[in-house]
Amino acid sequence: MSRRGVTVWFTGLSGAGKTTLSQGVAQQLRAWGLPVEVLDGDVVRQYLSKGLGYSKVDRDENVRRIGFVAKLLTRQGVIVLVSAISPYRQTRQEVRQQIGNFIEVFVDAPLAVCESRDVKGLYRKARAGLIQNFTGIDDPYEPPENPEVICKTAEQSIAESVQQVMQCLQDKGYL
């Protein structure tokens, strides 16, 4: 019997912990010998979405491209871990519908915490007006209304958040 693939979509503000959390889940899944691919928003932008800006239209197109790749991999029985801000609810819902086997993980951290973790200095640049349309500053982030998992990364450890995601995968029959 072939295994069911699934896309686990980590969404949240820049600095919320999406990449760190997806890497922790990937490490555990690989240790169990499961097929895993990680689609990180920053990496995808560098290769698949090069040339797209940060307007709503471009952000939506970026999310759709990530969703298309995730759908192809999911159909092949892969556990796909997507870590992308993906700020707009409607576009996340669109990719959820296209992929089917989909778990949304809201990586929830307050804006002040995300700004304090800002290793790239992006929030500082956005506050100074050097970056326009920055999610959470001068462009909205629409939190999921009914995510399967909420990881409050300012209140819990990465290990606790990883365990939450793993438990959801198990509860939904993907492990």
Tell me: the pLDDT tens digits for 36-90?
999 998 888 888 888 888 889 999 999 999 999 999 999 999 999 999 999 999 9
The residue type at 86: S
Q: Which range of residues forms the domain containing residue 37?
A: 6-109+140-171
Catalytic residues: 86
In a domain, 104, yes or no: yes
Q: What is the Cα–Cα distance from 102 to 119, expressed in whole angstroms?
A: 30
Averaged pLDDT, 1-10 = 87
CATH of the domain at 147: 3.40.50.300
Q: What is the Cα–Cα distance from 28 to 63, expressed in whole angstroms?
A: 25
Q: Is 46 exposed, middle or buried (0-12, 13-18, 19+ CB in 10 A)?
A: exposed
Q: How many C-beta atoms surround the C-beta of residue 120 within 10 A? A: 11
In a domain, 42, yes or no: yes
The residue type at 97: Q
Q: Give DSSP secondary structure letters for 124-135.
A: HHHHTTSSSS-B
Averaged pLDDT, 119-144 = 89
Residue 16 per-residue DSSP state: S
Which uninterrupted H or E stretch holds 102? strand 102-108
- Stated pTM of the model: 0.94
Which uninterrupted H or E stretch holds 105? strand 102-108
In a domain, 32, yes or no: yes
Which uninterrupted H or E stretch holds 22? helix 18-31
In a domain, 129, yes or no: no
